[in-house]
Amino acid sequence: MSNLLLTPIEFLKGVGPNRGELLRKELGIYKYVDLVNFFPNRYIDRTRYYKINELQNNIAEVQIIGKIINIKTVEFGRNQKRLVATFVDDTGQMELVWFQGHKWIRESLKLNEMCVIFGKCTSFGNAFNMAHPEIELMSEHEQSLRSAMQPVYPSTETLTNRGISNRVINKLMQQLFLETQTLFTETLPDYLINELKLIPKKAALFNIHFPKSTEVLAKAKFRLIFEELFFIQLQLITKNLIRKHKIKGHPFDKVGEYFNDFYLNHLPFQLTNAQKRVIKEIRTDMGSNAQMNRLLQGDVGSGKTIVAFMSMLLALDNGFQACLMAPTEILANQHFIGLSELAETLNINIRILTGSTKIAQRRIIHEELENGTLHILIGTHALLEDKVKFKNLGLAVIDEQHRFGVEQRSKLWRKSTPDPSKGGEIIPPHVLVMTATPIPRTLAMSLYGDLDISVIDELPPGRKPIQTVHRFDSNRLKVWKFLRDEIALGRQIYIVYPLIHESEKMDFKDLMDGYESISRDFPLPQYSISILHGKMKPADKDAEMKRFSEGKTNIMVATTVIEVGVNVPNASVMIIESAERFGLSQLHQLRGRVGRGAEQSYCILMTSHKLSSDSKTRMETMVKTNDGFEIAEVDLKLRGPGDLMGTQQSGVLNLQIADLVRDRDTLALARNYALKLLKEDSGMQKPEHSNLRAVFIEMTKKKNIWNYIS
């Protein structure tokens, strides 16, 4: 990259120290190169000029040629002023209005000189006005690099208030291209450019900022989107190859007594083909000398836990310990109960460690971990405490991956005691990450490009698909009759209310109102109701949950507390109130709380009649399919990739021009080309890859978020 492109932005003509500080703070533009890569988010057709007598109210954006003949300040409201200019052309007159920045605007306006104004028109009475228009003298307008498609750049309120308008960014961009246009070097090899018919890098950058037509704009976009995704895939795949090459793992070459005894004599049900395939992939990984780093995706109820347990048995067979970390106590307890049942006949020592484990119990756990008599430890974040040291941790299973940060996971790596036979080196455990939130494959390839991915894509036999229906509030009487029938058959019911954090009072009121009306419709002693919400003490929550799971209550009224990890096989109906207030993945998770027994289960989505088009799509999707991957695809289209991963990873997709949803086909293409290139030239050493390698090295120096995922 040319040194000129690394010049600090304040040295660009028209920027200076003050604007430079603003560009850095508001847009992250530090150097010339950052401005070059600051791409427009839309374009406006600037080929047409309007006359004042042609204007109509709220025409999106128009440009008009004329002149300003008068400027005045008008007071309105308490101590508020606006700047008003009279603008005329040969067909009439209108007003230009500014509410902020009066001083510098007044200084910059030229009276009685031909100029072009551009902005949005509104009418007030019979007169038109335009607020905060862009203004350019006719002489400048004719000379500028202006294209028919005018770019509109992302902005912030602070920038607009401080006078850095879209027009200013446009002018800075023109200045930048006048100074630097000859300096853009090609980044991709010739054979790739020819094969994919890509336009050169220099042409792509020029035409993304100053397109002459929609055709060249489309070519410029494709070139830059492909390049961005291609380099990301190169980084991720390289990382994966290096990790497999460099990071040693414990080779589990033995399939021994624990695994075989369980598989042959104690398996509670037939494994599905998907489960068998995934166990085989895990065995292959753990049998090599490299550390396993695998993501296990499976829908709610697809049987991930038994796969994780059998992987742990492989660790035990090879003389190692295993642990399972879950995000909440409820979930950790559930795993503990489930795994203890599976391990009952195998003579395995399993314990649980959470925030509420008593001190005496902790001492025993710490001691048994270090002397190796504790085989499997299950827990929450408590597993990461410094005091927790394993004798030889061989496998770490992490449930609901997106709730744990990267640093927390790397702490697990350092939990083993150094291995004397390997010269005191700490060899990290194999890592199996589980998630019940299906992520569309295109997104998974990008988010977890350096994890190997296993998918359990079939449900265990005997599971009946849950029947989902959408009902409006006006059908409530019929729904309640259905509930009475189900309870008469001995079944149990969940009724869930949404939790919207901003208004806990309102949520609580919704829940309590609901609870009261349900108590009236399902009175004692014939019916008994449990309630569960976030404000309850943990002991009270557990007691209510226990009553429900033991069948002492018929109905559980709850907030989304029950979204994760409650297992009551006899509960066969899930009612979701105000279902339009939930996201798709949350609706799918909640639905997964039923359908755990042999009986037919139902999910009823209750909504008001007023539904946005997105809400309608969500309801239709839930009714149509039980497939988590299909649901995730729709969710991705509706919400975009940022939200999909939960808050702490929404910044992950901080892309300059690509969009993982819109450009998924280009992403797959970029990944295929990156794989092919690294297969043939893993170090990018060939002469035709020299530019590529230089850019790649620059990118890896940047500590961008892609280097920290997983």
Whole-number pLDDT of residue 366:
95
In a domain, 652, yes or no: no
Pair 509, 373 in one domain: no
Pair 521, 381 in one domain: no
Categorize the per-residue pLDDT at 562 as very low, low, confident or very high, splitting at 50, 70 and 90: low
Question: Could you give the angle at the alpha carbon of 116 between the alpha carbons of 111 and 117, nearest 5°?
Answer: 90
Whole-number pLDDT of residue 643:
45
- The alpha carbon torsion through 614, 618, 621, 623 (nearest 10 deg) reads -130
Whole-number pLDDT of residue 652:
44
Pair 501, 413 in one domain: no
Pairing of strands 62-76, 115-119: antiparallel
Domain boundary among 427, 456, 485: 456
In a domain, 694, yes or no: no
Total length of the chain: 710
Q: Report the CATH number that the domain containing residue 133 is assigned in CATH.
A: 2.40.50.140
pTM of the model: 0.65
Residue 292, by phi and psi: left (phi above 0), alpha (psi -120 to 50) or beta? beta
Q: Tell me the pLDDT tens digit for each residue of 76-98.
A: 878 888 999 999 999 999 999 99
- 270/264 Cα distance (integer angstroms): 11
Q: Tell me the pLDDT tens digit for each residue of 221-268.
A: 999 999 999 998 898 888 878 777 778 888 999 999 999 999 999 998
Pair 339, 437 in one domain: yes
Question: Could you give the angle at the alpha carbon of 222 between the alpha carbons of 218 and 227, nearest 5°?
Answer: 155
- Which two structure tokens, joined as six digits, stand for 281? 């992939």
Whether the upstream peptide bond of residue 569 has omega within 30° of 0, thus cis, is no
In a domain, 333, yes or no: yes
Domain boundary among 97, 114, 145: 145
- Which two structure tokens, joined as six digits, stand for 285? 């990984």
Nearest to 639 by CA among 666, 621, 657: 621
Whether the CB-CB separation of 413 and 325 falls below 8 Å is answered with no
In a domain, 415, yes or no: yes
Q: Tell me the pLDDT tens digit for each residue of 666-692.
A: 988 998 899 899 999 989 999 999 999
DSSP assignment of 203-240 equals HHHHHHHS-SSHHHHHHHHHHHHHHHHHHHHHHHHHHH
In a domain, 593, yes or no: yes
Pair 523, 582 in one domain: yes
Whole-number pLDDT of residue 589:
84
Distance of CA 510 to the CA centre of its chain: 29
Residue 420: its H or E element: none
Work out the mean pLDDT of the chain and round it to a whole number.
86
Pair 102, 139 in one domain: yes
- 247/290 Cα distance (integer angstroms): 6
User: Which residue is associated with the tokens 């008009």?
Assistant: 64
Whether the CB-CB separation of 41 and 152 falls below 8 Å is answered with yes
Domain boundary among 98, 117, 145: 145
pLDDT at 509 over 80: no
Residue 188, C-beta contacts closer than 8 angstroms, at least 6 positions apart? 198, 201, 227, 230, 691, 692
Q: How many helices (H) and strands (E) does the chain have?
A: 25, 22
- The alpha carbon torsion through 382, 388, 394, 395 (nearest 10 deg) reads 0
Q: Tell me the pLDDT tens digit for each residue of 11-61.
A: 999 999 999 999 999 999 999 999 999 999 888 877 788 999 888 766 678
pLDDT at 709 over 60: no
- 435/588 Cα distance (integer angstroms): 13
Pair 452, 559 in one domain: no
Whole-number pLDDT of residue 654:
63
- 707/710 Cα distance (integer angstroms): 9
Integer CA distances (angstroms), 54 to 92, 150, 175, 346, in order: 10, 22, 34, 85
Q: Report the CATH number that the domain containing residue 338 is assigned in CATH.
A: 3.40.50.300
- Which two structure tokens, joined as six digits, stand for 709? 């995922």
pLDDT at 563 over 60: no
Whole-number pLDDT of residue 48:
81
Residue 183, by phi and psi: left (phi above 0), alpha (psi -120 to 50) or beta? alpha
Which phi and psi angles does 212 have, rounded to 5°? Answer: -90, -20
Q: How many CB atoms lie within 10 A of CB 515?
A: 19
pLDDT at 512 over 50: yes
Pair 414, 265 in one domain: yes
Pair 261, 141 in one domain: no
Whole-number pLDDT of residue 506:
60
- 676/683 Cα distance (integer angstroms): 13
Domain count, the chain: 3
Give the structural domain span for 136: 47-145
Q: How many CB atoms lie within 10 A of CB 560?
A: 18
In a domain, 198, yes or no: no
Pair 386, 521 in one domain: no
User: Which residue is associated with the tokens 């299973």?
Assistant: 397
pLDDT at 650 over 60: no
Per-residue pLDDT, averaged over 413-419, amounts to 72
Whole-number pLDDT of residue 504:
59
- 624/441 Cα distance (integer angstroms): 21
Categorize the per-residue pLDDT at 153 as very low, low, confident or very high, splitting at 50, 70 and 90: very high
Q: Tell me the pLDDT tens digit for each residue of 334-381.
A: 899 889 999 988 999 999 999 889 999 999 999 999 999 999 999 998
Per-residue pLDDT, averaged over 102-122, amounts to 90
Pair 366, 483 in one domain: no
In a domain, 170, yes or no: no
How large is the C-alpha radius of gyration of the chain?
Answer: 31
Pair 480, 610 in one domain: yes
Q: Tell me the pLDDT tens digit for each residue of 481-505.
A: 999 999 999 999 999 998 655 455 6
Cβ contacts of 29-37, under 8 Å, gap ≥ 24: 31/5, 31/6, 31/7, 32/4, 32/5, 32/6, 32/7, 32/176, 32/179, 32/180, 33/1, 33/5, 33/6, 34/9, 35/9, 35/172, 35/173, 35/176, 36/5, 36/176, 36/180, 36/184, 36/205, 37/656
In a domain, 462, yes or no: no
Question: Could you give the angle at the alpha carbon of 77 between the alpha carbons of 72 and 82, nearest 5°?
Answer: 25
- 388/377 Cα distance (integer angstroms): 10
Question: pLDDT > 70: what percent of the chain?
Answer: 89
